[in-house]
Amino acid sequence: MLSSTADHLFWMARYIERAENSARMLDIHLQSSLLAGGRSEKQRNQSAQAVLLISELVPAFEQSQKAQSNPEQTKQNELISDAVLRFMVSDPNNSSSIYSALYSARENARAVRGAITTELWETINVTWLKLQARLENDAWMQDMPAFFDWVKHRAHLTRGVTAGTMPRDDAYRFVAMGTALERADNVARLLDVKFFEGAAAELLDWDAKGEYYHWAAILRSVSGFEIYRKTYRDTITPARVAELLILRADMPRSLLAAMNALCNHLNKLANKRSAHTLRAAGLLQAQIQFANIDDILEHGLHAYLTQFLARINAIGKGISQDFLEV
């Protein structure tokens, strides 16, 4: 397979997954704002800033705000939450917005129409066309939970069509590998959002009820609320949520499940240049597989996730160098 074709397939899958995970992260912000006893405007703004921090988009957002025609509103710190939502959903100048992610996914799919099935192309293309209608005149803001659910549904549909129509060849493996890599990165960021809310606010005075709503929102955002109940049959605690989303291979969106999928496809695509990347991915997979949640929490969840993100990004760069560059 040509490296350019592999590159388009890999990034097509990453952008689909990125759009979905952006919707999941924004859904956490929205649920936390609505459920935790009616948080103040200041707390909602701090939560919104946490979304930017965890996505490493603070400079880009500030630049976007400076370009706005109404500097007084920005100066008064009003409606920062709404501004962040627009920036993360519909801003074409933000390369990480849902708009940009689905546009890039569609453009990558169009470049390799001969390597994907007609059903997959039509699914991605229709998603892009319907997105434009939903974003027109900020219609999506009338019912934001429904919009985020729609983005997640379209991502699920795309993966289902991929699994149901594509042969298990190299093209499929590059798609699956892109999905697994992006998911690992984004789930780690979702799990770490609590730390970044603290960093944005210095201190959020949440009571036990607020903590419950926060962790419940995280579980629901990764479709893990029912899985948590079936697995632990007890109240929601941060340690168990972390264990479920990091160490449980039977949780589809856990870090271990993503690493298992990534290593599986990476091993089948191995070439003469990929030995270092294979070793790095296998080592990270093994360390998660045999880790203990108490040890992780003892050394600090944020420190663990920060290290994980650095390593998964290095693996992503290795994949690009080994397979996607001429």
d(C-alpha 164, C-alpha 227), whole Å:
24
pTM higher than 0.85 for the full model?
yes
pLDDT score, position 210: 60
Long-range Cβ contact pairs of 203-209 (< 8 A, separation 24 or more): 204/43, 204/46, 206/36, 209/36, 209/37
Give mean pLDDT in consecutive 10-residue pieces for the chain, a chain of 326 residues.
91 96 86 61 70 84 75 49 88 92 97 95 97 90 92 96 95 96 92 61 46 79 90 87 94 96 95 94 97 92 93 95 84
Q: How many domains, in total, are found in the chain? A: 1
Parent domain of 135: 3-324
Contact assessment for residue 98 and residue 24, using Cβ atoms and an 8 Å cutoff? no
> Nearest-CA neighbor of 135 among 184, 175, 95, 98?
98
pLDDT score, position 67: 74
Token pair in block for residue 219: 């579980």
What proportions of the chain, in percent to the nearest 5, are helix, strand and coil? 80, 0, 20
Contact assessment for residue 28 and residue 217, using Cβ atoms and an 8 Å cutoff? yes
pLDDT score, position 202: 38
Token pair in block for residue 130: 């319907």
Indicate the angle between helix axes 170-191 and 301-319, nearest 10 degrees: 160
pLDDT score, position 200: 43
